Structure 1
Amino acid sequence: MTVIQDFANAVTVTDLETDPYPIYRRLRAEAPVCYVPAVDLWLVTRRADVAAVGNDPDTFTAALPDAPVNRAFGEPNILTATGDTHRELRGSLEGKYKPREVAGYIDQLVEPIVAERLKVLDGLTEVDLLAEYFEPISVRSLAEVLGMGEFDSDTLRRWFRGLAEGAINFERDPARQAVSDATVQEMLTAMDPLLTRMEREPDDSTLAHMLWSGRDAETGERGPRDRAAVLPSLRVIILGGMQEPGHGAASTLYGLLSEPEQLATVLADPEGQCGTAVEEGIRWVSPIGTQARLVTRPTELGGVQLPMGAKVSAVLASANRDEAVFDEPELFRLDRRSRRSMPFGFGLHFCVGHAFARSQMRIALARLLQRFPELRLRPEQPVDFRGWEFRAPTSLWVSLDGRE
């Protein structure tokens, strides 16, 4: 057995959750396509190979029958569906999330939510911005566009944490699955009145589009889609859409606060620079780490022969730190010449909500820095990152008045 395979065999889920980046760095250098038993996946870590997986759905299909997301959320869901089913699911979402559509409503949607959270921060000197600012903005923004505004932020945050336990359960931990299953059941019960109302009186929300897109909503001639065809994808949207913007913005701010010169650049022009900062932040720490695929026929990838039926994970987080693409990829830098990161995936399953997420992060970050230009990290409360499928700081404590 080779040294690198010994290394891969020794990798644990805890290692990946704690800090996957040193593991990815070694795999990129020595075994860019490598089987890791702890997660029962071939990890694909170089950008070119990750792109090859994402752009070849015939060889690398998203239809992974035993994927954790299928066990947790059910099927069909937008992450693992293929063919006509995937096209129908994606089509039901594009009416709300195409970049042109998002540009028409995002300011009106997000600005009041941001203003409300800034009022909560007024008068405070110390605060965990993840818990009190970025996550609440993320969950409230998505809830409003989904048509789920009646649910409070704490409930929504609890739901996406519970759903995540199932979505990342590659090791098939019964405790994690139990948390996820309980969350799904709670959501089913809580959302029943809302779904009943949307089935009778659809509005312009995402949920109504998922139920009625392509149907005759005026006469009800064909009726709404069956809930079973919609709810698995709704759970995916709640998990990813509430997690990625809030956590990506928090990681971006941490990057800026760790680099005073770059922070000064953004503070000088928040409106012009926050978009650039967000792009670098979600490259530097990718909120969504992987895309899992199933090999449909024997194929070679990265110099490795993969058999039909092999399960691969195209590691977006690793591709976004590939030394062949990015100079000093482990550093947070606003002046990068290459912007070829892939925080939202590749190919047919490229995240449909990317424009919504990017805009939300940009607005939240810009308004925060405009209101509190003196904010600084609190050294006595260091920032700790966790996760490999979903990576984010566990908290982000700052002094809003600049005092350390």
Structure 2
Amino acid sequence: MTTFLDDVTVEDLDADPYRIYARMRAELPVAHVPAVDSWFVTRHADVAFVAEHPDLFPAAAPGSPVERSFGAPTIITVDGPVHHDLRRAFDGNMRPKRVEGYVEDLVRPIAARHAAALAGAAASGEPVDLLATYFEPISVLSLAAVLGLDLDAQTLRRWFHGMSLGAINYEQDPARQAEADAVLAEVDAVVVPLLEHLAAHPDDSTLSHMLHAGRPAGDPRPVDLVLPSVKVAILGGMQEPGHGAASTLAALLAAPAQLAAVLAERTLVAAAVEEGTRWVTPIGTQFRTAARDVEVGGATVPAGAGVSAVLASANRDAAVFPEPDVFDLFRHVPGRAAEGPVGAAAAAAGQAAYGFGKHFCSGHSFARHQMRIALEELLAAFPSVRPADDGPVEFRGWEFRAPVALPVLLG
């Protein structure tokens, strides 16, 4: 049996990875994709297996786009004691109970301010792109606040768009890498002096926690140790919530009955967010390296090969989520799944958007709350929100997937 997908291009993946993943789950669940030089693992059970067995599939990714761009070690490309220490450094302000204590006061004013700024567009009847003017700015400013970065939304959005070019540069495009490297140099110029200041003068910011949490007083982690993980946090933490919220609203706008249900019962917003990030998973993979020849999903992955545990594909696996291509927020509402088209609550079986294993996303609680609050504020201010045209929303990307734009009418 062949284990290579020579006919898949990066453009194919960017345009519609879900079509490719569905074909793979049915016919070739584990296969090498030469276009990105990685073995794709696509079925939910196999994705979880890869992510949960660092002895067979360690996170180390020498030469990967992430390490090539951000440096090493990063919190997502290391295991063992170093990962444990970096995770402890980052988790301080991100534990669910801790997040619940500050997230409303931090995020809701940002969301309310951006919703209020849309009033003019609503009154004029002009279309507005909610991705660029609402969801992304809320995402970047919220994470910047919790990290301790005092920067404007325009700079932060430019940062994460530029950084993402390096993080997904599997084809090693020199022009794309040069653009990413220029942005990353700017990040260094801002973040390194701030980290050096916080090393001597700690505060309650997440950046400060990354230096001092779990360390003896006066003995912070070296700036060079935490800097690559700070870049990962900036990219993932700023990208995922804004794009996940935009994808969720796009799905609701295409499902008027479900949008009406959310407008009538705002407690359903959290379920809509959970389904939105399942339906279009903002960060598509967890990357691993095969420690030796390993058999998984009927294929043998050779030692040293790069492996993409495809979270986006796991979230569309019909073995876990019946009718997986259907957006149905009720599958995440205990006792109410039968109201939706799916007819069975599958959420408990393993929503994969935040990964599996010890590299499960540290910021999952903050991201979920941030998406919920952004949608709550928007729907409270503009309950008549509707698509600006009749065409479907265009999505792009496979490692990072989101609407290209989200044009709506608000009034």
TM-score category, normalised to shorter length: over 0.9
> Deviations for 1:306-340, whole angstroms, at most 9, x for unmatched residues?
22212211000000000111111111112221002
Structure 2 counterpart of 1:15:
12
4+ runs of 1 displaced by more than 3 Å?
none
Task: Please say if 1:359 is aligned against 2:360.
Answer: no
Amino acid at match of 2:148: G
Of residues 251, 256, 265, the one that matches 1:269 is 265
CA deviations on 1:54-86 (whole Å, 9 max, x unpaired) are 111100110121111000100010010111110
RMSD: 1.3
Aligned partner letter, 2:397: G
Partner of 1:227: 223
Q: What is the SS of the residue equivalent to 2:157? A: helix
1:71 aligns with 2:68: yes
Asked if 1:385 corresponds to 2:395, the answer is: yes
CA distance in 2, matches of 1:214, 1:333: 42
Amino acid at match of 1:175: A
Q: Secondary structure at the match of 1:60?
A: coil
CA distance in 1 between partners of 2:391 and 2:12 (Å): 23
Q: CA deviation at 1:123?
A: 2.2
Q: What is the CA–CA distance in structure 2 between the aligned matches of 1:46 and 1:196, rounded to whole Å? A: 44
Matches within 5 A, 1:2-401: 2=2, 5=4, 8-125=5-122, 126-148=127-149, 150-217=150-217, 220=218, 222=219, 224-270=220-266, 272-336=267-331, 337-339=345-347, 340-379=350-389, 382-401=392-411
**Paired letter, 2:270:** G
* Cα deviation, residue 161, structure 1: 0.7
Residue 47 of structure 2 contacts residue 314 of structure 2 at CA under 8 Å; is this kept in 1? yes
Alpha-carbon separation, structure 1, partners of 2:359 and 2:6? 30
Query: Do the aligned partners of 1:381 and 1:397 also contact (CA within 8 Å) in 2?
Result: no
What residue is the counterpart of 2:342 in the other structure? none
Secondary structure of 1:335's aligned partner: helix
**Distance (Å, rounded) in 2 between the aligned partners of 1:231 and 1:211:** 10
Give, in whole Å, the separation in 1 of the partners of 2:8 and 2:18: 12
**Structure 2 letter corresponding to 1:26:** R
Partners in 1 of 2:221 and 2:391 — Cα distance?
Answer: 49
Return closer, same or farther for 1:105/1:23 CA change in 2, 3 Å cut-off. same
Secondary structure of 2:128's counterpart equals: strand
Post-superposition Cα deviations, 1:138-177, rounded to whole Å, max 9, x if no partner, equal 00000000000x2111101101011100100111111111
Cross-structure match for 2:334? none
Structure 1 unaligned residues grouped into runs of 5+: none
Separation (CA, whole Å) in 2 of partners of 1:380 and 1:332: 19
1:394 offset after TM fit, Å?
1.1
Q: Give 1:275's aligned amino acid.
A: A
| Structure 1 counterpart of 2:337 | none
- Please report how far the alpha carbon of residue 216 of structure 1 lies from its aligned counterpart in structure 2 after TM superposition: 3.5
Please state how far the C-alpha of 1:381 moved relative to its aligned partner: 6.6
Distance in 1, matches of 2:410 and 2:71, equals 43
The number of aligned residues is 392
In 2: Cα distance, 1:274 partner to 1:281 partner: 10
- Between the aligned partners of 1:338 and 1:145, the Cα distance in structure 2 is 33
Q: Distance in 1 between matches of 2:189 and 2:304?
A: 37
- 1: CA distance, partners of 2:252 / 2:47: 28
Moved more, 158-167 or 117-126: 117-126
State the SS of the aligned residue for 2:93: helix
Deviations 1:290-319 (A, max 9, x none): 011111122210111222212211000000
**TM-score for the superposition, normalised by structure 2:** 0.93
Shift of 1:117: 0.5
The percentage of counterpart residues that share the same residue type is 58
AA aligned opposite 1:97 = M
Secondary structure, counterpart of 2:117 in structure 1:
helix
Paired residues of 2:192 and 2:227 also in contact (CA < 8 A): no
Deviations 1:108-127 (A, max 9, x none): 11111111101111121321
